[in-house]
Amino acid sequence: MDKLWAHLIEVQPDPDPWVVAVSALAALALVGFRMPWQISRGLITIAHEGGHALMALVTRRKLEGIRLHSDTSGVTLTRGRPTGPGMVLTALAGYLAPSLLGLAAAWLTEQGRITLLIWGVLLFLVCMLLLIRNLYGALILLVTGGAVFALIMYAPAEAQQVVALVAVWFLLFGGIRPIIELQRKRRRRQARDSDADQLARLTFLPGGFYVFFFLLVSGASAVFGAYLMNPL
């Protein structure tokens, strides 16, 4: 256990500035272009539903399971009071989770804790797998977790660092785009049951306020995360 802990908290050297820049551009391409985004958006959904699930557990709501769908949507099933702070916080956590996870990952990367970050991601995926209640969701988590496990076991430290950098940037950038997409759908009245509209029904504030709040937190996380990731 001592050897394992020493391995987990091992500090890696800072990456070259060009590696950080190229990884940021790669993540920006994944988020900015339609085809790569359609393929990779499911990873943001995993973080989104994980945020709902974690907050449900923190607020002591009964967590019944998570479903991930092939159209990159998802749903977290909880049971408890239909109103109140627990329900509000659970609904609030989804759109904030990818950006806040990205910010936490950026801090670990800035500290050189790449190994700890990757093992933390693997643990997160395993916990999600235990909560999945549909076949497609289980398949996606098994494929993603298998890729992370292969990265840990077979990839050299330099490759792990590059993948971790791209993943951190992807969470920071990818946490913003779904919020913009949400507002576009709300303008066309295609998202009546979105998290923002559920929050509007639970509180006295309009759904647009929550979209703005999501965007504010995600934008601030991206800016501060980029500051932490800045090699200069």
* Rounded-to-integer distance, Cα 38 and Cα 60, Å: 34
DSSP-derived secondary structure for 100-150: HHHHHHHHHHHTT-HHHHHHHHHHHHHHHHHHB-SHHHHHHHHHHHHHHHH
DSSP for residue 176: T
Domain count for the chain, please give it. Answer: 1
d(CA 31, CA 60): 34
> Is residue 86 in some structural domain?
yes
Work out whether strand 74-79 and strand 62-68 pair parallel, antiparallel, or are unpaired: antiparallel
Please state the rounded mean pLDDT for residues 62-80.
92
pLDDT value, residue 103: 97
Whether 8 is covered by a domain: the verdict is no
Average pLDDT over residues 116-133: 94
Average pLDDT of the chain, as a whole number: 93
Query: Is 216 inside a domain boundary?
Result: yes
Q: Which residue has the tokens 């919020």?
A: 179
Give domain status of residue 13, yes or no.
no
The C-alpha atoms of residue 46 and residue 94 are separated, in whole angstroms, by 10
- Between CA 41 and CA 38 the distance in angstroms is 5
* Residue 149 pLDDT: 95
In a domain, 194, yes or no: yes
- Provide the pLDDT for residue 11: 86
Range of the domain at 31: 25-229
pLDDT tens digits, one per residue of 16-59 = 999 999 999 999 999 999 999 999 999 999 999 999 999 999 99
Q: What is the pLDDT of residue 8?
A: 79
CA–CA distance, 176 with 223 (Å, rounded to integer): 11
Domain assignment present for residue 14? The answer is: no
H or E element, residue 196: helix 195-202
Report the predicted TM-score, pTM, of the whole model to 2 decimal places: 0.94
* pLDDT (tens digit per residue) in 79-120: 988 888 999 999 999 999 999 999 999 999 999 999 999 999
Helix (H, G, I), strand (E, B) or coil at 64: strand
Residue 232 has pLDDT above 90, yes or no: no
Cβ neighbours, 10 Å, residue 83: 11
Q: What is the DSSP letter of 30?
A: H
Question: What confidence score (pLDDT) does residue 81 get?
Answer: 87
- Please report whether residue 11 resides in a domain: no
Instruction: Please determine, for residue 6, whether its predicted confidence score (pLDDT) is greater than 90.
Output: no
Residue 170, domain member (yes or no): yes
CA distance 76 to 199: 15
**Has residue 13 got a pLDDT over 90?**
no
Q: What is the pLDDT of residues 174-187, one digit of tens each?
A: 999 999 999 999 88
